[in-house]
Structure 1
Amino acid sequence: MSEVIKNRYEFIVLFDVENGNPNGDPDAGNMPRIDPETGYGIVTDVCLKRKIRNYVDTVKEGEEGYRIYIREDAPLNTKDEEALEYLQIEDTKQLKKTDPDAELKIRDFMCKNFYDIRTFGAVMTTFVRAKLNCGQVRGPVQLSFARSVDPIISQEVTITRIAITKKDASAEKATEMGRKNIVPYALYRAEGYISANLARKTTGFTEEDLDLLWDAIINMFENDHSAARGKMAVRRLIVFKHSKELGDCPSYKLFDAVEVYKKPDVVYPRKYSDYEVNVDKNQIPETVEVMDKI
């Protein structure tokens, strides 16, 4: 692998949805998530990380060092046990006394083999063997909740289908009714942080991992289309690269330098071109490089 990253980064992702549900809320009948006080739409960080994991899993297909820890097809404890078996850790209560670095070795094994642990971190304390577990790792890459630029309207659409579910009901009716919850259009903004300090000290997140992360963010909806989510696309990825490991300025100054607003003549935005994106480079220190990845 390439060398560990040496620079701190912040980034802004702009993505939109058209006639779809970007992130359903199970506490509200799977309606699009919304801030009840302001009406702004919300997409959770967990939802965005899932898309990134799925892209990496699709591109790398289990390649060594790029496996995905949190996925549907295997319990977490199965993967935790791999580390103990690889390191030949036996079931003994004396292990910590004979090898004080045992827990560190387990953690390093998990970071080396699983891309999402190396990137986002993970809580791996559910599996216990020999009074040990794989530990808790705070990853260098962190994402905020995405929030819509303007308040959204959740629309419930009634649909019909000609296939009847139950055999007994087929003689009484020819169709069945259903519902879909959609957002006609919304532009969302998410913000992220990448700590070179945590990458160096904890997970070993590399320059190669970083390039893969940018690709995954840009393409996270391209291989994840579904009828429920409608038309979704990443429209802009703005990256701020600091000149050193701990950064050159507070992150909020960089985020505040990027304004996204509706064009004056637009009442109801229905496409990305209804918005303007302005990056005020006068607010950004000269030592911070601004990059447009898309």
Structure 2
Amino acid sequence: MSNEQKQSIPRATGLLIIAAENVNPNGDPDRESDPRQRSHDRRGYISGVSFKRKLRDLVELKKGPVWQHIKNGLGINNDDSFFILESRDRGFSDIKDASKAWRKVLELIDKKNDGSEVANKYWDARVFGATFLEKGEEAPQAGSGVAASDRKYIRTGVAQFGIAVSVAPVRIHRDTNTKKASAQESKDRGMAPLACRYVEHGIYCMPFFVNPSAALQSGCTCQDIALLLSLIKHAYPNTRSVARSHGLIEIRHAWYAEHGDGLGSFSEFEFIEKLTPRRKGENRETPSVSGIPLNDQYDVPNKMPDDFKSKLKNGKLYDLCVELPEWCKKIKGEDENAQ
């Protein structure tokens, strides 16, 4: 780990430009899985939790092509340091019962007061943080003799993904799904009324941030952040679901810039504003439509103005869909989590 500590985690700001057409980018369980939409202005949104779920899924699938490709590129030699805490088995593949898996996590928390056992095992706990607060009878005993009221694990994440809001209002369609065979014995065919719910067209902007200060507590490493940045462009094409299978959704740009120092060298508000697409036309409150090229409906920035670019570290703006920061390429061959 000593070699890798020479490269510190940079403070950084990013913005994902997500294009969606005839898909449900993020269903709302409070509204029968309708695409999420703000009531006051009809703009759609995607939660940061939803996006992080896709990154977790890619890391959890250790035999999958994405993990194998990125693992080799970053020189990750120890899969045991990259389990996912927010998973059904909590990284204990030999345990199928969810409550038993949770007790194993509690045992890790109880082992050391500094939480290092949890940090050493779970990539998402190091990167996104984790909070466990259990008191009294709510906390199952882990068998270590530690009182349930004393058990807690609170770590702020190094990387945070905000809410992605659509540039313009979105139009939601609702259709009925049918199938030849019925799930009910008394019927000869199946039907799911208004079960197919999707956004016709929209451009969403999701800000994200890398805060190196949080790494002091979470145990996050440069290799962890390099993995995160490498995963972003694979989030949607490699985690397709039924709700996103009948249309298109992709990250058109994954803008990322590092600050000149740990205290910040530019305004994050200005960074996001300068890279946010704008709706074309006189009425910017009109939803965009399917079947018309994106660039005919939106002005999508493809570079940073020179006067602001000079505030970025080395004057460099990255599109993570195209390239990674130079320091990520130096990670290979150095397993930062080997202790």
Same fold (TM > 0.5):
yes
Cα distance in 2 between the residues matched to 1:169 and 1:118 = 51
* 2:317 partner SS: strand
Alignment of 1:1-294 (within 5 A): 2-3=4-5, 5-58=8-61, 59=67, 63-74=79-90, 75=98, 77-83=102-108, 87=111, 102-104=112-114, 107-126=115-134, 127=139, 130-131=146-147, 132-170=150-188, 174=189, 176-179=191-194, 180-199=196-215, 201-230=216-245, 231-264=248-281, 268-270=288-290, 271-274=293-296, 275-278=298-301, 279-288=304-313, 289-294=316-321
Kindly state the Cα deviation for residue 125 of structure 1 after the two structures are TM-superposed. 2.6
Equivalent residue letter for 2:318: M
Percent identity of equivalent pairs: 22
Q: Deviations over 1:74-100 (max 9, x none)?
A: 446234234157x4xxxxxxxxxxxxx
Q: What 5-or-longer segments of structure 2 have no aligned partner?
A: 62-66, 72-77, 91-97, 322-339
The corresponding residue for 1:99 is none
Equivalent residue letter for 2:39: P
User: Residues 269 and 211 (structure 1 numbering): CA distance in 2 closer, same or farther, change over 3 Å?
Assistant: farther
Cα distance in 2 between the residues matched to 1:147 and 1:248 = 26
Kindly state the Cα deviation for residue 72 of structure 1 after the two structures are TM-superposed. 2.6
Cα distance in 2 between the residues matched to 1:292 and 1:223 = 19
Greater shift in the superposed pair: 248-257 or 50-59: 248-257
Q: CA RMSD in A?
A: 2.5
* 1:42 partner SS: strand
Equivalent residue letter for 1:273: N
Cα distance in 2 between the residues matched to 1:70 and 1:244 = 32
Cα distance in 2 between the residues matched to 1:219 and 1:23 = 17
Equivalent residue letter for 1:210: I
User: Residues 28 and 287 (structure 1 numbering): CA distance in 2 closer, same or farther, change over 3 Å?
Assistant: closer
| Greater fraction strand | 1
**What number of residue pairs does the alignment pair up?**
273
Cα distance in 1 between the residues matched to 2:45 and 2:262 = 31
CA contact (8 A) 2:175 2:197 kept: yes
Taking structure 1 as the reference length, the TM-score comes to 0.83
Equivalent residue letter for 1:241: E
Q: Deviations over 1:42-71 (max 9, x none)?
A: 111110110111112221699121110001
The corresponding residue for 1:92 is none
Q: What 5-or-longer segments of structure 1 have no aligned partner?
A: 88-101
